[in-house]
Structure 1
């Protein structure tokens, strides 16, 4: 059986594939693999671009561990099985009037996968999904069921909130939720320089702000989302179809194909794409605004920087691409999120701005990433664990203040490296 991730950047032929449906099933799998001296990697929906889920030996799917275990309405907390897809959570929480505080721009991941790789959304007052984890149950590398919470092994929470699948197999997580809310979305295309000049102000004034910049243009497609209680003013069915399928899916795919065939068209294609991105205003439930389908496959590199460094880093990238005469047909994305305490978080101890570079999956991303990555590193960047990057353990240890603390938690929970792989050895060491 061949396993491939969504982006087609990783593949493997696992020796064994396990699909447990209970914590006891997970225990049996871990004990079996450990007894024969093998290794095991947990996998969710395969939306990481990096090799985080790629196994060298056995693979364990968490898809069978799905659903809502319970809600604490007074404390606004929900306990979900680790394989629950993000897109399933709104309906599960709706009867309790709760919602997740923030989401990224896709909802295909499992809760476990999103937490384990540091998935984040936007907003200076809103940290990553993992930062909302207040408790978790996992099966360690020695086959023990370990409960971590504010009162049970609380010292492990900063490690579990972004665990890379090397501390154990997550079975369930308890999230700190918020009352369900709507978002008033305003989408428009503005001049790039004006947006970068007001970058800090836009993030401070707006609950959730992000921009998309197409190389070789001076245009930024912006999304500003404000939290409201209502009333809803949703897009029409036709309008939503145009936004999510025609303009950003079918239309973008056609533009990518045209530019690949005739590279000289790329600047014109980018200008057209920037102006064609959805524009207007609407108010919908938070999960419908935060997320959108992603049918066009791509490869991605993303770094978290000190938030004030984003404008200059983007300007340096623009100058470097022009010098290299490299024109792209996939936008850069910039957004921000609140700091948190997870040992391996890109936002550990600081409010963070993110710059993401994308390349269509049918194009070689290395020429782009070789230009962009040194610039982001020079601005004290930390790579996203679920995205592509070139760093190894010694370099990562210098950039993540909690790196050694995380390794100590790993030594305790997986002393025999049952959850190791070639990827974990590259980014964490032996």
Structure 2
């Protein structure tokens, strides 16, 4: 499973194994699963890397849109909050319910393909990307134009946080949505597209859970095709010089480098004719091969070259990641600045800790709070890896991630990934991080400037219309949207 709830014996100070949900009849239009809470036992949710957690008052799994409506209407009468959970893969607090007061609502029971008309596919919000890709390919000969590195996410969870793949002419996953249905904070159902309530459509596709509960989306798919995946080593020094040519040559360019070295790796994916054989060959071949988990090249159906298999996902080491989005024309200089900053913390770095930096590219869109809104974008990621039991060293991660965020925000109007770790200021004070002086603005003030005042204000108007009581606003969103309201303090001025 990608997320679980643990029954913790608070009174005895013990932690039990992951519990299976109880199936309860709740008066909803279909049965749902609930983990009961009591004085002795409380619900506990952890993100997949174990670095974030919350204790929702209640956990529910909706099986249909009617369930979502009934839950929201009941919670609204109680004056409580709802936080929707997808696959639990976000590293940030965007998915966390407020402790002891929130209802965490899973859409895992809403995982059907509802209709396929030509190349447009209507699906329920909880369907996982890997399941969707496999079923589209096998049953309809269709594929999604682009995917991120893992397909364990739900379609709406991935879209709502601005998740993306790589491709200079390809948008984020949210741009594949051409129509959607969303339930507001009073239980009302809205259907929206570019031509029907366009303001809601531009807000909800990357809605960070703030404008309602999306229950279904219609996606623009494409005919299934094949690609060849290739990776090859490169000198970082030469790569930065060759970057314009590489970006011109490879439309799906991705690359990474290891700090404190000149070692880089380039990853590319290129279309090949349909009759190109799967490579490596055999029933267990291709890019999801179990016998060749690491390979410099492979050929397969498009989605298998873009994202991971279930086995590959389960075998991954835990890690923690943050991403910053900068204008593509500034990307080379931003990378050079970050490399220079990295050199200033060489003496504080533990060589035993695995740190890598990855760069991808995404096309511009017009979605209000998409990190790609209004500009072609380069995505700079820093990853600190751990092992199968725990994610990377938190001190190293804090240093490298604050450094990246500082470089990108100070000079390049960088936008953080909503679903990856990002750092906020609650008081407006600046903070220093190894020779890097960061802004004094409060986080909402900076984000409004980075996204553009018009986009930010239009999103907040939709947010107010769809959720006037703030039912969907958790601590993470309060810290980023509301500069003048009291916020939950956590140990220090800086929280993430």
- Aligned: 1:390 with 2:432: no
Q: Give the equivalent residue in structure 2 for 1:61.
A: 106
Q: For 1:10 and 1:28, locate their aligned partners in 2 and report how far apart those are by CA, in whole Å.
A: 29
Between Structure 1 and Structure 2, which shows a larger proportion of helix residues? 1
Q: For 1:120 and 1:305, locate their aligned partners in 2 and report how far apart those are by CA, in whole Å.
A: 14
Instruction: State the TM-score, normalized to the length of structure 1.
Output: 0.88
Partner SS for 1:215: coil
Q: For 1:243 and 1:190, locate their aligned partners in 2 and report how far apart those are by CA, in whole Å.
A: 22
Q: Give the equivalent residue in structure 1 for 2:304.
A: 288
CA gap of 1:343–1:412, structure 2 versus 1, over 3 A, is same
- Aligned: 1:125 with 2:199: no
Is the 2:227–2:270 contact (alpha carbons within 8 Å) kept by the matching residues of 1?
yes
Deviation at 1:147, TM superposition (A): 0.6
2:401 paired residue among 349, 353, 369:
369
Is the 1:200–1:308 contact (alpha carbons within 8 Å) kept by the matching residues of 2?
no
Partner SS for 1:198: helix
**How many aligned residue pairs are there?**
395
Q: Give the equivalent residue in structure 2 for 1:261.
A: none
Q: For 2:368 and 2:55, locate their aligned partners in 1 and report how far apart those are by CA, in whole Å.
A: 31
Deviation at 1:291, TM superposition (A): 0.9
Q: For 2:147 and 2:240, locate their aligned partners in 1 and report how far apart those are by CA, in whole Å.
A: 24
What is the root-mean-square deviation in Å for CA atoms of aligned residues?
1.6
Q: Give the equivalent residue in structure 2 for 1:266.
A: none
Q: Give the equivalent residue in structure 2 for 1:410.
A: 463
- Aligned: 1:315 with 2:336: yes
Instruction: State the TM-score, normalized to the length of structure 2.
Output: 0.77
Partner SS for 2:329: helix
Deviation sequence 1:171-193 (CA, Å, 0-9, x none):
10001111111111121111112
2:55 paired residue among 5, 9, 13:
13
Q: For 2:456 and 2:285, locate their aligned partners in 1 and report how far apart those are by CA, in whole Å.
A: 48
Pairing 1:190-201 to 2, within 5 Å after superposition: 190-201=234-245
CA gap of 1:91–1:369, structure 2 versus 1, over 3 A, is closer
Partner SS for 2:359: strand
2:413 paired residue among 369, 374, 380:
380
Q: Give the equivalent residue in structure 1 for 2:345.
A: 324
- Aligned: 1:350 with 2:389: no
Q: Give the equivalent residue in structure 1 for 2:150.
A: 106
Partner SS for 1:313: helix
- Aligned: 1:82 with 2:125: yes
Pairing 1:172-183 to 2, within 5 Å after superposition: 172-183=216-227
Q: For 1:393 and 1:89, locate their aligned partners in 2 and report how far apart those are by CA, in whole Å.
A: 36
Deviation sequence 1:300-356 (CA, Å, 0-9, x none):
110111112222222222222222113551311101011011100111111100100
Q: State the structure with more CA Rg.
A: 2
Deviation at 1:201, TM superposition (A): 2.6
Is the 1:86–1:108 contact (alpha carbons within 8 Å) kept by the matching residues of 2?
yes
Where structure 2 has 5 or more consecutive residues not aligned to the other structure, the ranges are 1-42, 386-390, 425-442, 486-496
Q: For 2:160 and 2:292, locate their aligned partners in 1 and report how far apart those are by CA, in whole Å.
A: 31
Deviation at 1:238, TM superposition (A): 7.5
